């Protein structure tokens, strides 16, 4: 996503198997810190996401490929493009809601 200071910052979308882990704002914040620490430990602070959004699913095609360009387009306020092959359109709507788009 666009950032005024850095130009662009990574944003993460994580699928939570147990929704009880993100039931409250405090629990979401704790899990977000855990995700950021994991990224720091494995990839370094340069790859740390600016924010972690928790969703119940990620947008994929019927064959199982992630729709990364569509996610990025929504994050940047652009048209997500051709979505005729999307498996579950509600997942893309979750991305929009998470980003406030």
Say if residue 38 is in the same domain as residue 87.
no
Say if residue 91 is in the same domain as residue 68.
yes
Say if residue 47 is in the same domain as residue 4.
yes
pLDDT in tens, 5-63: 888 889 999 999 888 899 999 999 999 999 999 999 999 988 999 999 999 999 999 99
pLDDT of 7: 84
pLDDT of 65: 94
pTM: 0.82
Q: CB of 18 within 8 A of CB of 27?
A: no
Q: How far is CA 43 from CA 26, 76, 77, 78, in A?
A: 25, 24, 27, 28
Count of structural domains within the chain: 2
Say if residue 77 is in the same domain as residue 90.
yes
Say if residue 44 is in the same domain as residue 81.
no
pLDDT in tens, 71-86: 999 988 899 988 999 9
With cut-offs at 50, 70 and 90, classify the pLDDT of residue 101.
low
Say if residue 47 is in the same domain as residue 72.
no
Distance CA 25, CA 22 (A): 7
Say if residue 48 is in the same domain as residue 63.
no
Name the residue range of residue 71's domain.
57-101
Say if residue 4 is in the same domain as residue 48.
yes
Cβ burial of 52 (10 Å; 0-12, 13-18, 19+) is buried
């Amino acid at each position: 996503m666009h950032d005024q200071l850095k130009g662009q910052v990574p944003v993460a979308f994580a699928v939570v198997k147990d929704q009880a882990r993100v039931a409250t704002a405090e629990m979401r914040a704790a899990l977000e810190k855990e995700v950021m620490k994991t990224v720091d430990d494995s990839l370094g602070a340069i790859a740390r996401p600016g924010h972690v959004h928790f969703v119940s699913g990620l947008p994929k095609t019927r064959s199982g490929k992630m729709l990364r360009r569509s996610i990025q387009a929504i994050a940047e306020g652009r048209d997500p493009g051709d979505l005729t092959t999307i498996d579950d359109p509600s997942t893309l709507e979750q991305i929009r809601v998470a980003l406030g788009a």
